[in-house]
């Protein structure tokens, strides 16, 4: 069974600060996805990374897939209150389904 | 367009009862997934349908859990003899063709509480 760990578990920052959250595993994944989930809703896909070392940018969000495809990071620049939510990473489990990490709960205070 | 819908949004039942949870995927999506999310955790995979058939049911925790998708559209997750440990949010997702590079669209979930 492939497992994903995420850190930190909780993060509370002021508006305008930068932050990085991490997703780590001892297993290799063929692809990895990042989602944001708000209370009472399902997760919403932010990005999929496929190639080791790949960097993708989505406005103020920068996603990186580790060279060995075992880890990933999400960096947010100049965080805004609208970024508040649960950030989940999910790794491809042999092409059939995804294994999710426990998430990082981010709170951005105005 | 319409997204994935799930009914009911909340379900409270007593230990030992039978429950059914319904998922209406996005029209035309062939792949459908069920997940379970406990408090403070990420979604846990339960079962994946490709069309009418279960392509992967390895995540179903035991034989009290069963899911169907008889016409390749709506799916029902069925839980027999519910236990307090079954309490969680049950999420459904659909994608156009399935597979690891296809985008999954999640519904809002059904919150199941077993008393």
Residues 75 to 114 of B: which have CB under 8 A from any A CB?
Answer: 91, 93, 99-101, 103-109
Enumerate the residues of chain A whose CB falls inside 8 A of the CB of residue B56.
96-97
pLDDT of residue B44: 95
- Write out pLDDT tens, residues A31-79: 999 999 999 999 999 999 999 999 999 999 999 999 999 999 999 999 9
Q: How many CB atoms sit inside 10 A of residue B17's CB?
A: 13
Average confidence score pLDDT of chain B: 95
Spatial CA neighbour of A104 closest among A83, A93, A92, A89: A89
- Sole residue written with tokens 């489990």: A93
pLDDT of residue A38: 94
Nearest to A43 among B43, B55, B56 (CB): B43
Q: Is B48 on the interface with A (CB under 8 A)?
A: yes
The least confident of A9-13, A96-100, B42-46, B90-94 is A96-100
Percent with pLDDT over 90 in chain A? 86
pLDDT at A97 over 80: no
Spatial CA neighbour of B35 closest among B60, B64, B63, B8: B60
pLDDT at B115 over 90: yes
User: What confidence tier does A1 reach under pLDDT thresholds 50, 70, 90?
Assistant: low
Q: What is the sign, positive or negative, of the torsion defined by CA atoms of B48, B50, B56, B62?
A: positive
């Amino acid at each position: 069974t492939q497992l994903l760990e995420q850190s930190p578990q909780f993060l509370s920052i002021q508006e305008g600060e930068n932050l990085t959250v991490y997703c780590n595993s001892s297993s290799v994944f063929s692809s990895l996805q990042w989602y944001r989930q708000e209370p009472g809703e399902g997760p919403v896909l932010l990005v999929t990374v496929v190639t080791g070392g790949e960097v993708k940018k989505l406005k103020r969000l920068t996603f990186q897939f580790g060279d060995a495809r075992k880890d990933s990071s999400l960096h947010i620049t100049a965080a805004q209150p609208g970024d508040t939510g649960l950030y989940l990473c999910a790794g491809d489990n042999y092409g059939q389904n995804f294994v999710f990490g426990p998430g990082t709960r981010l709170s951005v205070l105005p | 367009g319409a997204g994935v819908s799930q009914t009911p949004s909340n379900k409270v039942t007593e230990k030992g009862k039978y429950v059914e949870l319904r998922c209406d995927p996005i029209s035309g999506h062939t792949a459908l997934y069920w997940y379970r999310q406990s408090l403070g955790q990420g979604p846990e995979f339960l079962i994946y349908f490709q069309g009418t058939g279960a392509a992967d049911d390895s995540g179903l925790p035991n034989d009290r859990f069963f899911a169907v998708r008889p016409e390749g559209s709506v799916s029902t997750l069925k839980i027999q003899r519910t236990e307090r440990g079954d309490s969680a949010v049950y999420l459904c997702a659909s994608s156009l063709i399935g597979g690891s590079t296809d985008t999954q669209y999640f519904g809002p979930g059904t919150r199941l509480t077993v008393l």
